[in-house]
């Protein structure tokens, strides 16, 4: 990649874990060794998932545990490494709930996640993820029947409307903390909504939330989208409104990026001219909880220092190295025409 136009490229820790276990000092050292290997490969930052804490733990205690984790990272020499976070809401912490008290609990939860993001990433970092509607929770009728299609669209509309005031307050809070919010639409077998970038943009516009944006994920767009024409319109729409806050580079099977079915010409052709933020290489490894929640049939990429090497299977570092090289080559091939 041209040095004059060096792009920040981050790597997702979904390759290794969905829980940083900030109170586990031994596991912190495993994370440190992964950070060392990946920065040596050439990554300039990392995206980490902030798992829901124990039911008995208060949000303040959770934030403090990440303060200690960040100190451990700094002590290991990673004080200048950049961090973003991946956050999802839950059945308990549901900002779309019809019950006001539950929405307030969700706001407190999401504010704590902004605090954790700020602790790890400092100013101008990003909190991304499916944090509008609870991840993995699908609605049922009173008779226990699943709700789909037109009925689902009718059901979820008032839920999104109920979340409007919560997100207005959350956006103001995150702006004060200098944390960018980026709602990530995900596949229809992961969530009932939002599943498309246009839906997330519609929510932000209808709720009048000017300081919140979206994540564009290449895998989600390929698997759950309306086609290249709408993709182009959505990227332009997000960019014009200063809502294009994060871009995830992920293969449709959520595995290796190298030689994957990412439509590079369409996607980078639209994104590169209008986006100046970091790219995130996101690989979901076949580890708990992903192997079951995402019904993975492919073999696990073995994790140095955690798994035994397996003949004929790539290591996590091999996959990360090849992904970085691929993305840098694709960015170079498109050139850097202009930035907003």
Give burial (CB, 10 Å; 0-12/13-18/19+) of 146.
Answer: exposed
pLDDT of residue 23: 96
Is the CA virtual torsion 53, 56, 59, 60 positive or negative? negative
Domain assignment of residue 1, yes or no: no
Residue range(s) defining the domain that contains residue 37: 9-338
Task: Centre a 10 Å sphere on the Cβ of residue 69 and count the other Cβ atoms it contains.
Answer: 23
For residue 253, give every residue at least 6 positions away whose Cβ sits within 8 Å of its Cβ, in sequence order, or none: 260, 261, 298
Contact 289/18 with Cβ under 8 angstroms?
A: yes
Give, rounded to a whole angstrom, the gap between the first and last alpha carbons of the chain. 20
CA distance 258 to 260: 5
Is 2 part of a structural domain of the chain? no
Residue 24, in any domain of the structure: yes
**149 vs 96, 139, 146, 155, CA distance in Å?**
19, 12, 10, 10
| Residue 191: partners with Cβ closer than 8 Å, 6 or more residues away | 130, 133, 134, 135, 136, 137, 138
Q: Tell me if 4 is assigned to some domain.
A: no
pLDDT over 50 at 338, yes or no: no
pLDDT digits (tens, 9 = 90+) for 242-273: 999 999 999 999 999 999 999 999 999 999 99
Residue 23 belongs to a domain: yes
> Tell me: the pLDDT tens digits for 229-249?
999 999 999 999 999 999 999
What is the tally of structural domains in the chain?
A: 1
Angle formed by the axes of helices 264-271 and 228-240, to 10°?
20
Q: CA–CA separation, 320 vs 43, rounded Å?
A: 9
CATH number of the domain that residue 312 is part of:
3.20.20.150
d(CA 235, CA 237): 5
pLDDT tens profile 146-174: 999 999 999 999 999 999 999 999 999 99
What is the helix (H) or strand (E) element at residue 181, kind and residue range? Answer: strand 179-183
Grade residue 335 by pLDDT with cuts at 50, 70 and 90: low
Please report the pLDDT score of residue 5 as a whole number. 54
- Mean of per-residue pLDDT scores for the chain: 94
Contacts of 182 (CB under 8 A, 6+ apart): 126, 127, 128, 129, 212, 213, 214, 215, 245, 246
Q: How confident is the model at residue 54 (pLDDT cuts 50, 70, 90)?
A: confident
């Amino acid at each position: 990649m041209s040095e004059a136009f060096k792009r920040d490229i981050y790597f997702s820790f979904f390759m290794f874990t969905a829980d940083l276990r900030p109170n586990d000092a031994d596991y912190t050292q495993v994370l440190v060794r992964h950070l060392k290997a990946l920065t040596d490969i050439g990554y300039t930052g990392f995206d980490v998932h902030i798992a829901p804490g124990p039911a008995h733990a208060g949000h303040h205690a959770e934030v403090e545990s990440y303060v200690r984790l960040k100190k451990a990272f700094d002590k290991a020499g990673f004080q200048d490494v950049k961090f973003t976070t991946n956050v999802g809401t839950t059945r308990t912490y549901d900002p779309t709930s019809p019950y006001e008290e539950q929405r307030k609990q969700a706001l407190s939860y999401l504010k704590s996640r902004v605090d954790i993001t700020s602790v790890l990433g400092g100013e101008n970092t990003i909190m991304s993820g499916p944090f509008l509607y609870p991840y993995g929770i699908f609605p049922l009728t009173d008779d226990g029947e699943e709700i789909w299609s037109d009925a689902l669209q009718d059901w979820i509309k008032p839920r999104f409307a109920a979340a409007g005031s919560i997100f207005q307050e959350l956006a103001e809070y995150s702006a004060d903390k200098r944390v960018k919010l980026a709602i990530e639409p995900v596949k229809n077998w992961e969530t009932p909504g939002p599943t498309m970038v246009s839906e997330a943009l519609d929510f932000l516009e209808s709720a009048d939330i000017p300081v919140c944006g979206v994540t564009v994920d290449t895998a989600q767009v390929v698997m759950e989208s309306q086609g290249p024409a709408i993709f182009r319109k959505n990227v332009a729409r997000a960019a014009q409104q200063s809502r294009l806050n994060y871009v995830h580079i992920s293969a449709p099977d959520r595995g290796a990026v190298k030689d994957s079915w990412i439509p590079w010409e369409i996607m980078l052709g639209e994104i590169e001219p209008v986006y100046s933020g970091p790219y995130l290489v996101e690989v979901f490894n076949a580890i708990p909880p992903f192997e079951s929640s995402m019904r993975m049939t492919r073999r696990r990429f073995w994790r140095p220092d955690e798994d035994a090497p397996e003949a004929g299977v790539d290591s996590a570092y091999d996959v990360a190295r090849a992904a970085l090289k691929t993305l840098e080559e694709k960015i170079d091939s498109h050139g850097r025409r202009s930035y907003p």
